[in-house]
Amino acid sequence: PMSVLMASTTSKREGVIFNSKNIFEMIKKIDIIAFDKTGTLTEGKFNVIGTTIPKDILSIVVSAERSSNHPLANSIVKNITDIEKIDVIVKDVIGKGIKTTYKNNQIYVGSLKFLQEKIASYVESEEIIYKRDFGSAFIYAFSDNKVYGYIELKDEVKETTIKTLAQLRYMGIDVVMITGDHKNTANHIGSKLGIDESLIYSEVLPSEKSKIIKELQKKGRIVGFVGDGINDSIALIQADLGFAIGEGSDAAIESADIILNKNDMTLISYSI
């Protein structure tokens, strides 16, 4: 129909591309949108606040992170430059971190959850818990029986995020946040965005995102999902309507129903 063609042409000018003409009816039915946090709700450009990892181990950690395309890894490599570059063997541990080998020594780099799988007795200090309550994220370096230290990082909410979420709520659409972050960090970001804790899913593995969407669908919800990463493609397909940030991975863009060509969150409410 002419109205669909005109809407599609106008939206494309504004930076919104519809991958199918059949999605216009679905847009009207969406009653909840799930957002991947890093790089979608937030900038995805973490600042390194500090580290307690000894310099020799830090060289191994940063050298290993060069092989990863995760936003945290990219930020570590970009921010920590005053170290020796060395050749290491790296293996991804999906959703948890990486395992690196240097001179026959194995060092793991990753989340608290990953650390506690190796060293069950490890408990975070009150200082770290306090910092998590204010939005800090922590990446640990450890072996099978020793914790070397951590890197503290912080991400910032996009300028357009709060406005977008307010617009969606005004339209009667609920907002969900999905993240691999620790619960305390996730709740801090969620509170800044006005997202109820019952709608925040933290410490989520990449493979679990689509399962969360499926559970919402089982409850009768018509679900949109917004993501930008290679790990978001299955969730984008599972959602009734998938939005991909145009600066995201090729896999995410190919899986989406709607592509936002600008890194501007207000395009989501505009497209609806």
Residue 36 appears among annotated catalytic residues: yes
Q: Which domain holds residue 56?
A: 47-154
Helix 55-65 to helix 71-79 angle (10° resolution) is: 130
Whether the predicted pLDDT of 222 surpasses 80: yes
Whether the predicted pLDDT of 271 surpasses 80: no
pLDDT value of residue 248? 54
Range 74-78 average pLDDT: 94
Q: Is there a single domain that holds both residue 54 and residue 145? A: yes
pLDDT in tens, 188-199: 999 999 999 999
pLDDT value of residue 16? 77
Q: Which whole-number Å values give the CA distances from 154 to 41, 115, 159, 242, in the listed order?
A: 14, 20, 16, 27
Q: Which whole-number Å values give the CA distances from 70 to 66, 99, 217, 266, in the listed order?
A: 10, 14, 29, 25
| Nearest to 225, CA basis, from 34, 30, 22, 3 | 34
pLDDT in tens, 108-161: 999 999 999 999 999 999 999 999 999 999 999 999 999 999 999 999 999 899
Range 35-56 average pLDDT: 93
Of 31, 36, 82, 240, which one is the catalytic site residue?
36
Q: Is there a single domain that holds both residue 263 and residue 215? A: yes
pLDDT, greater one: 250 or 98? 98
Domain boundary among 129, 154, 179: 154
User: Which CATH number covers residue 205?
Assistant: 3.40.50.1000
Q: Is there a single domain that holds both residue 131 and residue 203? A: no
pTM of the model: 0.83
Q: How confident is the model at residue 251 (pLDDT cuts 50, 70, 90)?
A: low
| Nearest to 242, CA basis, from 232, 250, 191 | 232
Tokens of residue 1, six digits: 């129909």
Integer Cα distance of 83 and 62 in angstroms: 8
Domain count, the chain: 2
Whether the predicted pLDDT of 3 surpasses 90: no
